[in-house]
């Protein structure tokens, strides 16, 4: 009996440790520190402008995949695109772009703190798109409203195109965001 009690106590301690670690990783946005790379995607035709797509990958990496799809869509619309992690040097310079898109995972109804901080550096003369990867196929209206409010307060602009990217509908959601930005 005593042996089983010790095993149960050890399992409980391990579970609590794992939960506390995951919660701390969410709160301190630790996944954003992996987003340090960048790449330039050139259009197949004549470039109509420059676009910057900045992402925080999140735990699942869904936001970085969504950012890649958005970058590909912009490139297909003849933009020269810089796809950059939020902690990269390329993300630190937002001047000279006609379109800027930023996004990451949605945690507790808000986009990650690293993307929120990035949005405060964006100039108002560029078209701004913001996406939040929900990791869920169900559309949650309250998440969308919360994301719009967060973007408006970070950028002091209500003119940004804000889009939730839902699991299973990424291709359409990313294409919709780009089409709204470039029209």
3-state per-residue secondary structure call for the chain: CHHHHHHHHHHHHHHHHHHHHHHHHHHCCHHHHHCCCEEEECCCCCCCEEEEEEECCCCCCHHHHHHHHHHHHHHHCCEEEEEEECCCCHHHCCCCCCEEEEEEEEECCEECHHHHHHHCCCCCCCEEEEEEECCCCCCCHHHHHHHHHHHHHHHCCCCCEEEEECCCCHHHHHHHHHHHHHC
Q: What is the pTM of this model?
A: 0.77
| Beta pairing class for 99-107 and 110-111 | antiparallel
The predicted pLDDT at position 78 comes to: 95
Q: Would you say residue 15 lies in a domain?
A: no
CB 35 within 8 Å of CB 85:
yes
- Tell me how far apart the alpha carbons of residues 163 and 104 are, in angstroms, rounded to a whole number: 11
**How many distinct structural domains can be found in the chain?**
1
Contact 46, 88 (CB under 8 A): no
Answer yes or no: is 26 within a domain. no
pLDDT of residue 44: 86
Query: Given this model, what pLDDT does residue 138 score?
Result: 55
Strand pairing category for 49-55 and 110-111? unpaired
- Is 21 part of a structural domain of the chain? no
153 is a domain residue: yes
The answer to whether residue 3 sits within a structural domain is no
What is the distance between the alpha carbons of residues 84 and 178, in angstroms, rounded to a whole number?
17
> In which residue are the tokens 């579970």 written?
15
Is 6 among the domain residues? no
CATH number of the domain encompassing residue 65 = 3.40.50.360
| Residue at 11 is within a domain | no
Which domain range does residue 94 map to? 31-182
One digit per residue, the tens of pLDDT, for the chain of length 183 reads 788 888 888 999 999 888 877 666 555 665 655 656 778 889 988 999 999 999 988 877 788 889 999 999 999 999 999 999 888 888 888 888 999 999 888 776 677 778 888 888 886 678 888 888 876 555 555 556 666 666 666 665 656 777 777 777 788 888 988 998 888
Q: Is residue 12 part of a domain?
A: no
Kind of pairing, strands 161-165 and 127-133? parallel
pLDDT at 150: 65
CA distance 122 to 118: 7
């Amino acid at each position: 009996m005593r042996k089983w009690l010790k095993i149960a106590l050890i399992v409980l301690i391990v579970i609590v440790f794992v939960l506390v670690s995951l919660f701390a990783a969410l709160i301190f946005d630790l996944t954003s520190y992996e987003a340090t790379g960048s790449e330039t995607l050139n259009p197949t035709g004549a470039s109509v402008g420059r676009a910057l797509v900045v992402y925080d990958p999140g735990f699942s990496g869904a936001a970085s995949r969504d950012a890649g799809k958005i970058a590909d869509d912009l490139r297909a619309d003849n933009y020269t695109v810089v796809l950059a992690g939020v902690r990269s040097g390329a993300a630190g310079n937002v001047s000279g772009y006609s379109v800027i898109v930023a996004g990451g995972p949605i945690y507790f109804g808000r986009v990650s703190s690293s993307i929120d901080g990035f949005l405060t550096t964006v100039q108002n003369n560029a078209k701004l798109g913001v996406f939040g990867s929900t990791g869920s196929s169900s559309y949650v209206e309250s998440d969308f409203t919360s994301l719009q409010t967060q973007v408006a307060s970070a950028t002091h602009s209500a003119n940004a195109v804000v889009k939730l990217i839902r699991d299973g509908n990424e291709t359409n959601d990313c294409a919709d965001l780009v089409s709204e930005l470039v029209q």
